[in-house]
Amino acid sequence: MSSYRIGPVQKKILLTVLGGVALGLSNSPSQYFHTFSKIQKDWREIDESNFKRSIKRLSQNKLIEEKKMHDGSFKLFLTKNGRREVSRFVLFENTIDFKKPKKWDKKWRIVTFDIPEVDRVFRDILRRHLSTLEFYKLQQSVFVSPHPFEKQIMSLAKIYSATPYVRVITAVSIDNETKLKKHFFKTV
């Protein structure tokens, strides 16, 4: 879709905006940078000028849009093209491949996480990704899928520097298996 290669900082920005990070208190690219740098240690390693260039380039290529809010603040939103681009490199790129196998291996993948409150932004992002990948929500921070996405989920956790807080369990049975099979396979 895009005529240029999206760099790692731009990918992080797009992924974070996809995850719903609200930057409502920010009123400039400098403030965006400071907001992002506070929410995770990986962001602290990004140079502010590189961040500003990335925001500008994403905006010029119509992948993100800045909207002025009624209180004078600004928020970043993904455009339709931005959502398409993020989907392409997150869900379909070779590095994170979420293709469902044709045949179920009779195992459940249970994703649990206990991400600290200080990193709640990334907790919410992970929940949204799991929901997008059609994981079934068992509890607030417990999701299940019959698909072998263990490595891919840990790759997502790594992107968000949340690896210490995310566990993936592979189980051969679960007590509400009948309900889960009905949900995933439309069988009784």
Tell me which of 2.40.128.20, 2.60.40.10, 3.30.70.240, 3.90.1150.10 is the CATH number of domain 108-185.
Answer: 3.30.70.240
CA 62 – CA 80 distance, rounded (Å): 9
Q: For residue 24, what pLDDT is reported? A: 38
Distance from C-alpha of 63 to C-alpha of 156, rounded to nearest angstrom: 21
pLDDT value of position 40: 57
For residue 35, the model assigns a pLDDT of 54
> pLDDT tens digits for 139-166?
989 999 999 888 878 877 776 677 899 9
DSSP 88-149: HHHHSSTTS--PPPSS--S-EEEEEE---GGGHHHHHHHHHHHHHTT-EEEETTEEEESS--
Structure tokens at 111: 């994703």
In which residue ranges of the chain is pLDDT below 50?
1-3, 21-27, 91-96
3-state secondary structure at position 168: strand
> What is the pLDDT, as a whole number, of residue 174?
93
Per-residue confidence (pLDDT) for residue 125, from 0 to 100: 75
Whole-angstrom Cα Rg for the chain: 18
CATH number of 8-91: 1.10.10.10
The residue ranges of every structural domain in the chain are 8-91, 108-185
Instruction: Give me the pLDDT at residue 163, please.
Output: 86
Single-letter residue type at 120:
R
